[in-house]
Amino acid sequence: MLNDPFLLPCGASLQNRLAKAAMTERLSGRDYLPNAFHLQLYRIWAKSGAGLLLSGNIMVDKRYLESAGNIAVEAEEALPALRKWTAAGRAPGQHLWAQLSHPGRQCTILVSGRPLAPSAVRLRKLGLFARPRAMTEVEIEDVIRRFVRTATLCKAGGFTGVQIHAAHGYLLSQFLSPLTNRRTDQWGGSLANRARLLMAIVQQTREALGPDFPIGVKLNSADFQGGGFSEEDSLDVIRMLGAAGIDLLEISGGTYERMVFLVEDEPEVKASTRRREAYFLDFAHKAREVSNMPLMVTGGFRTRAFAEEALRSGMLDVVGMARPFLTEPGQALAFLQGSLEKFSDFKIRTGWKKLEDMAEGGFYARLLIQLARGEAPDRDSPALLSALFLPWHELRKALGKRVSVRQ
């Protein structure tokens, strides 16, 4: 089934069931636009044979970035660069979707000294994040307009679909979680209110892009934090998204404080889930019971046999992978064709618990940048060097862009 086409509700068709999931790219320059590095990277991935490629974070507001190297698309001046990127970044018949995002409080102090958030709840992570400012009603409405505007520009720029990022603790995920959303107005309190921002963006994006243009959403199965966005909350939001006519729901989980999506095999993660290889499959089964919306599950898939088994079980429609596209960038086509049965599984560990997710993230960030530069990926770098790479790279990027820490 991995090579079977899949018809989305909007009428668009994926040529197979393998997707390259989004990975933040950290490659843009002072203009916040795609450049030669993005073209090099996506030319490689376009040859992978994957039916769907998802871009890394495309920010809707350049004042607030998840990384100082993010792309931000706000105006028509971005269109020439977007068209070069999308022309280079997909093979005939392949889909390339833009992942649209706002970091909210997950915006480092190198980018903003006063990020926006639903409520003034600080992200405590190695002192890298400033205390956010609770958004006003006007700022919430502005965020809605920005998501819709960026989606419209990405369609004009040649992307064949968009994905709205409402997972991993970014702004829309922050609104969904009671831990980070302590508002008492129409944007907080009940789940219906906490989901209001996401649903408004979905509805207005659909109105702007039309009924036949693919719109996906990335959603947490849970935050994996006590008192946060729970599985029950997520299932209720899935019901809402199903009613709104989403074309593809990608299931993930965690936040910057609990990076289940990055370091998924630690002892805290249930052993039975680890044995299932793809650690969000248990939740996908529950999601199937509340909605017939097409599902993509990303995380943990490494063997072709298991990917086929998961598809045959009916628990998901699309298999999402990310890190194998960096560690073995030329092997995805062999995986699809059946000549490669298993991708390698790298675990980057320093021995210091607080640095493990930094080391894992830094290792793959380095591989991505090397690939974009046309270099062979260095998979043997020390774990501690990988942990230090991210703050060093962010500082270099932020200084290069002369980003002000004052708002």
Render pLDDT for 119-171 as a digit per residue (tens, 0 to 9). Answer: 999 987 766 788 999 999 999 999 999 999 999 999 999 999 999 999 989 99
Residue 9: count of CB within 10 angstroms of its CB: 17
Query: Is pLDDT larger for residue 354 or for residue 133?
Result: 133
CA–CA dist 233, 251 (Å, integer): 14
- What domains, with CATH codes, occur in the chain? 6-401 (3.20.20.70)
CA–CA dist 175, 163 (Å, integer): 18
pLDDT for residue 348 is more than 90: no
CA–CA dist 203, 151 (Å, integer): 12
Location of structure tokens 């898939």: 301
Report pLDDT digits (tens) over 35-76: 999 999 999 999 999 999 999 999 999 999 999 899 999 999
Instruction: Tokens for 287, please give them.
Output: 């999601």
CA–CA dist 230, 225 (Å, integer): 8
Residue 255 phi/psi, 5-degree rounding, is -140, 180
Q: Which spans in 245-303 are helix H?
A: 271-275, 281-290
Query: Is pLDDT larger for residue 93 or for residue 255?
Result: 93
Nearest to 380 by CA among 366, 391, 361, 394: 366
